[in-house]
Chains A and B, each alone.
Chain A
Amino acid sequence: MGLMSSVPWYHYSAPKNFYPLAGRLIPWFWGLAIVLTVVGLYMSFFVAPTDYKQGEAYRIIFIHVPAAWMSMFIYLVMAAYAIIGLAWKVRLADMMASALAPTGAMFTFLALWTGAFWGKPTWGTYWVWDARLTSELILLFLYIGFISLQSAIDDPRRAAKASGLLAIVGVINLPIIYFSVKWWNTLHQGASVSPTMAPKMASIMLITMLIMAVAFWMYTIAVVLMRVRRIILQRERQTTWVMELLSGAKGERR
């Protein structure tokens, strides 16, 4: 009961029905993303105190950890969509996987970038080939591989199959990233937040980081829904509903 049965999933798995739904949802996710980002940035710089050990540099944590979480979470969701697309031939799931990849790649790059600029003042180096950093770099290559495969294959169904398989195989890298700080002796510190332990950071810092994480999450949903609408139009361009929508013959101009 509840969410699973009250939402007509089957109805909205049709691109034609999902397109207007996504259009209605996007402004709400933008609203949440903007409000949470403003609050999160204010707390990052004006509420969270200076760290007694690292000074001000630690403030990078408020974007570094959310970006790193999103890089892994987006990959997991992308792979889940790839499975749904491959197993049940749901075209919209393939389109969602394609729409997620660029944003996932961006957050992976940003996790590496902000990590480098945090590493320099705290470790004395921008980069080190330790397990955490290397596996996160492999995640970036997996995203790039996924995107390149899609653009290299013309037939969308074959492209979805090949890139979907890559996405699914690449999931093996996620636990490696997550547990790398436990399994290997890394320069990267251990988990700041874990489900089994009390957080090792002051609660105001933790709350600020979580607000930024939710802000990034809402941003991701908004931007991915916008991108999937473009993908729907491209792949469904031969259908009557897209032609009617775009020729302005019927319905609203959105």
Chain B
Amino acid sequence: MSDFFAMGGHGFYIWASYGVTALFMIVEVIAVIRSKRTVEKRLARLARAEARTKNAL
């Protein structure tokens, strides 16, 4: 097992490459999901407010 992570002495370079790649790709997905939810919530509030004003008139 530790042989696997050592990668014949190149472990640091390999895991720095794979680790950062995985991290960026995962963080990007989370960021995209969160920003869409934020936009949806904000626009939903605006849409509801608009609907209320229309009903009030």
Contact = CB atoms under 8 A, between A and B. Distances in A.
A110 B20 contact: yes
Interface in A63-110: 63-64, 67, 102-103, 106, 109-110
Interface in A210-245: 219, 223, 226-227, 229-230, 233-234, 237, 242-244
A55 B8 contact: yes
Interface stretch (A3-11, A111-119, A165-173, A177-185): A111-119
A226 B40 CA distance: 13
Contacts of B21: 63, 67, 110, 113-114
Interface residues of A, number: 37
A247 B44 contact: yes
Interface centre among A219, A229, A230 (most CB of B within 10 A): A230
Given A63-B18, A120-B13, A234 B28 contact: no
27 contacts: A56-B10, A57-B13, A57-B14, A59-B14, A60-B13, A60-B14, A60-B17, A60-B18, A63-B18, A63-B21, A103-B28, A109-B24, A110-B24, A113-B20, A114-B17, A117-B13, A117-B14, A118-B17, A223-B29, A226-B32, A226-B33, A226-B36, A230-B39, A234-B39, A234-B43, A243-B50, A246-B40
A117 B21 CA distance: 12
Interface centre among B20, B21, B28, B48 (most CB of A within 10 A): B21
B8 A247 contact: no
B10 A248 contact: no
Interface of A is mostly: helix
A247 to B, nearest CB: 4
B51 A63 contact: no
A95 to B, nearest CB: 13
